[in-house]
């Protein structure tokens, strides 16, 4: 592949920035200064050093983001609202990333972004029942009887029978943790609606075994670690 594309795929620069660095003699391939952006490199065998940093070629990108309220989980929004992709630096916006699953506009927390379609579809498949864990607040405290109803599978207003969901209410107040093994449209809001209750805030804290990093502020992101990726790939 072209050297500028290789550098861009590694997520350290856009293709334009990579070409500029090559012109400034800031890039070497196998220890020799690179002279042009269109020189060919082999991503499996060549060693590329970009501005002093040896690059590791990543075929696929996996990112964890702490989605803020009011941002859409989509690659583009017809009404011009900000999307999770808009929160990434320009170099990553060009890598064909998309959200692995959806959160409502007013839901915050963990969203994974990737360009690895096959694994994303596997994780989202309704047959896989991957855990999705949320911290919720509701208008009133949930009762033990309602927790048991959710455990058995709530029936929503449209007759859909939910898979068993686990709810652990906080010892006091109107909040708690809910774990789903499916991801239907507005599912938690509709589940609480079916119990004559109302969700007042929702934050996803875990997807599969991957937990939202507490150090990520609203709108911040980081790459998944090798360990997190291995867990996802084991599904």
Active-site annotation, residues: 104
Compose the 61-100 pattern: x for residues touching ligand URA by CB under 6 A, - for all others: ----------------------------------------
Please give the full DSSP string across 76-143, using - where no structure is assigned: --TT---BTGGGS-HHHHTS--EESS---TT-EEEEEEES-HHHHHHHH-TTT---EEEEEEESSPPP
Binder among 22, 87, 188, 229 for ligand URA (CB under 6 A): 188
Closest to ligand URA by CB, 5 vs 181, is: 181
Shortest distance, position 36 Cβ to ligand URA, whole Å = 47
Binder among 66, 107, 108, 197 for ligand URA (CB under 6 A): 107
Query: Does 202 engage in binding with ligand URA (CB under 6 A)?
Result: yes
Stretch of 36-44, 50-58, 90-98, 181-189 lying at the interface with ligand URA (CB under 6 A): 181-189
Stretch of 78-86, 122-130, 184-192, 205-213 lying at the interface with ligand URA (CB under 6 A): 184-192
Is 113:75 a contact under the CB 8 Å cutoff?
no
In the region spanning residues 123 to 152, those forming contacts with ligand URA, defined by CB under 6 A, are none
- What is the CA angle 63-69-71, rounded to 5? 60
CB burial of residue 157 (10 Å; 0-12, 13-18, 19+)? exposed
Closest to ligand URA by CB, 5 vs 190, is: 190
Tell me how far apart the alpha carbons of residues 34 and 67 are, in angstroms, rounded to a whole number: 39
- In degrees rounded to 5, what are phi and psi of residue 110? -65, 120
Query: Does 114 engage in binding with ligand URA (CB under 6 A)?
Result: no
Task: Indicate the pairing of strand 199-207 with strand 108-114.
Answer: parallel
Closest to ligand URA by CB, 40 vs 186, is: 186
Closest to ligand URA by CB, 15 vs 189, is: 189
Determine the 3-state secondary structure of 191 from DSSP.
helix
122: number of Cβ within 10 Å: 15
Tokens 């320009």 belong to 90
Stretch of 3-11, 103-111, 160-168, 212-220 lying at the interface with ligand URA (CB under 6 A): 103-111
Closest to ligand URA by CB, 19 vs 180, is: 180
Q: Residue 117's Cα: distance from chain center in Å? A: 13
Binder among 77, 86, 104, 166 for ligand URA (CB under 6 A): 104
Tell me how far apart the alpha carbons of residues 88 and 67 are, in angstroms, rounded to a whole number: 11
Residues near ligand URA (CB under 6 A) are 103-104, 107, 186-189, 202
């Amino acid at each position: 592949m072209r050297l500028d594309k290789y550098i861009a795929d590694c997520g350290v620069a856009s293709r334009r920035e990579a070409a500029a660095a090559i012109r400034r003699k800031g890039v070497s391939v196998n220890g020799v200064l690179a002279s042009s952006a269109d020189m060919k490199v082999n991503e499996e065998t060549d060693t590329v050093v970009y501005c002093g940093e040896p690059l590791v070629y990543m075929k696929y990108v996996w990112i964890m983001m702490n989605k803020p309220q009011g941002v859409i989980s989509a690659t583009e929004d017809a009404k011009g609202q900000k999307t999770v992709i808009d929160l990434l630096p320009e170099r990553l916006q060009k890598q064909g990333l998309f959200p692995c699953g959806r959160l409502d506009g007013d839901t915050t927390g963990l969203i994974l972004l990737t360009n690895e379609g096959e694994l994303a579809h596997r994780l989202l498949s309704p047959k896989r029942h991957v855990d999705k864990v949320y911290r919720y607040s509701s208008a009133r405290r949930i009762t033990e009887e309602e927790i048991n109803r959710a455990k058995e599978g709530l029936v929503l207003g449209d007759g859909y029978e939910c898979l068993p969901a686990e709810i652990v209410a906080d010892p006091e107040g109107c909040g708690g943790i809910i774990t789903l093994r499916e991801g239907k449209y507005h599912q938690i809001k509709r589940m609480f609606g079916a119990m004559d209750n109302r969700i007042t805030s929702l934050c996803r804290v875990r997807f599969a075994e991957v937990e939202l990093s507490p150090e990520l502020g609203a709108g911040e992101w980081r790459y998944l670690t090798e360990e997190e990726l291995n867990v996802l790939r084991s599904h």
